[in-house]
Every structure is written in structure tokens, then in C-alpha cells.
Structure 1
């Protein structure tokens, strides 16, 4: 019987390399990953979203996570990397609309993860029609909000910085430290 699946979440502000890091870690560990559902949703529905859209995105993200978790378990994988969780939905909701759907908060309390990687804002901004905050001040403010979320919960976490292969190497080292 394989060991239980370890779930590592990658979070942080926009344009901090979360998706790239998630994919690189999945390749390195020869496992699956959960992409960010918001991208798919916003490409279909458009970027003029309301609070209820964020709840729909949160539900879609968790459904995708549940499918990928089942697939990783069935394949006997040791790790699953997750690009975005309900902390991201909480921060996004509160930052844009000033409040968060209680259902999202309930999901934060109910879900279990084995570690978090918090991506720093040390990468250059990459323009994307779905991104909203190109200024470093907003991105740094969001980084500190994410950091506060992680400080105030019990799952271990590590900040990740650096560019390119250095960032991936930092992620690999962090996964090793988180799961010792």
C-alpha cells in the first residue's frame, strides 16, 4: 500500500510564477497537479466578475482538486501540487469586494494540506488579460496578506523566491523540508 498522498499548495499574488512552479514540481516528482480553475472560468465568462462568480470559481477549483486527488491516489502518487486554494479565494474576495462568502471560509477550515509554498513578488510582472494588479505596491500588499493567512494557521509553509531554475530548485528544496 502506497503512503498517503501529500498535498502541497502554491499560493501568492498574480504573476509570481505559481502555475509554472506547480507544473515544474509535478514534472520533477513525476506526479499530477491541479491547475488554477479561475483562468478557465474567466476565459469563458469574461473578466467582469461579481462576488457570486468568485464562489463559483471556488467550487470549480475544489471540484478540480477532488478529481485530481482521486486520480493521484489511484495512480499511487506520493505528491499532488495545487495551484491555488481557498485562501486565494478569500484574499481575492476580500481585496476586490471587501467580504468573503462564508462557504469559502468553511472550506478553509475543512480542507487539509501538508504544506504551502508562498511565491514572492520578486519576478517581473508578466502582462496577461486576466491579471488585474500590475503595480508592485498592490502585489506586495497582497503578498503580505497571504503571508498573514499562512502565519495564522497550522500547516507548515515556506516562502519561495528566485527566477527560473533557481525558483524551481527552491521549490524542490522547500518540499523536502516541508515533508521531512
Structure 2
């Protein structure tokens, strides 16, 4: 299976704390640009859990997210795709929930860069969801996302706003594509 480097597929990741509109924005951007997107594997995985999440579950989600991403890249028809989260999320959740990140995740993180990260701001109202856990820790997780993206040397920008969030995301992508065409 070809990877993003061989096919020269640019990856634009939509990331951030819980309940910030990541999935909605990712799907809308993919429709807007008529391209493919990678769903958040962990939502499907966690929906099927019957016991509390373990560190092994985090590893399983890591592999599942990579497999899903590689499948979309292999079938991509355009020069870029959108990713609803990344494997960096596994690191953030593992550190928070278990105090450590599996070594396989740490080893692979630098091998799977994204060309642009859109970090969704916490300015949207919290939406209840059985798979969301920390409405009171949004500022904490926003800070963690900034720290992690900076540690990776990532090209990222914060997308905020309620009414104009999508328009700001489109402008960020347009600017990125113009600079990188």
C-alpha cells in the first residue's frame, strides 16, 4: 500500500479537545473541497467497549487510526485529504488517563506528520455525548494540544468562532493550499 510520501498526498488534520466541532468541520471541509476524509476511528472503537478503556485499547485505537488513514490515502483522488483527529490524540489521552504513552505510539508519531493542523478552539458550547468525558477540562486539553503541536514543530492554526468557524477553516485551508501548490 502506498503511503502519503509516495503519492504526495497532503494531510490536513482537524484536532482539538472534546466537543469542538472536529467531526462536523472535517466532513464539511471534505464536501467543500470534493475530497476524502479519514474518520475518527476511536469513536467507533469506544462505542463498542463494554469495560473501561485500557492502555491496550489506546494501542488498538492507534493502529486502527493509522489503518483507516492509510486506506483513505491509498484511494485518494485529490492531492490532499482531511483527517478527523490523528494518532497524536492517542498520546494525549494515554498521558492523561494512564500517565504514560505506549512506546509504539511515541516511536511512530514523528513518522506520520501532517501538513497542516487545524486546532479547533473551545469556544463552542459543550455538547453532551456518551463518549465525551471532560466538560470541565477543556482549557486544560486546549493547553495540552498547543504544547504537543509545538513539540512536534507542527504547522497549525487555531480555528475559533461559532457562526464563522467553517469560513475560517476554509480560509486557513485555502491559504495553505495557495502557499503549497
TM-score, structure 2 normalization: 0.91
The match for 2:89 is: 88
The match for 1:44 is: 48
Q: Matches of 1:155 and 1:114 in 2, distance apart?
A: 8
Question: 1:1-180 residue pairs with structure 2 within 5 A?
Answer: 4-46=8-50, 48-72=52-76, 75=77, 77-135=78-136, 138-164=137-163, 166-179=164-177, 180=179
Shift of 1:112: 2.5
| Contact 1:87–1:146 under 8 Å retained in 2 | no
- The worse-fitting range, judged by mean Cα deviation, of 33-42 and 146-155 is 146-155
Q: Matches of 2:107 and 2:158 in 1, distance apart?
A: 25
| Contact 2:110–2:152 under 8 Å retained in 1 | no
Is there any run of 5+ residues in structure 1 with no aligned partner, and where? Answer: none
| Contact 1:47–1:130 under 8 Å retained in 2 | no
The 3 A distance-change label for structure 1 pair 89 and 120 is: same
Query: What's the RMSD between the two structures over aligned residues?
Result: 1.3
TM-score, structure 1 normalization: 0.91
Give the total of aligned pairs. Answer: 172
Shift of 1:153: 2.2
3-state SS, counterpart of residue 147 of structure 1: helix
Is there any run of 5+ residues in structure 2 with no aligned partner, and where? Answer: 1-6
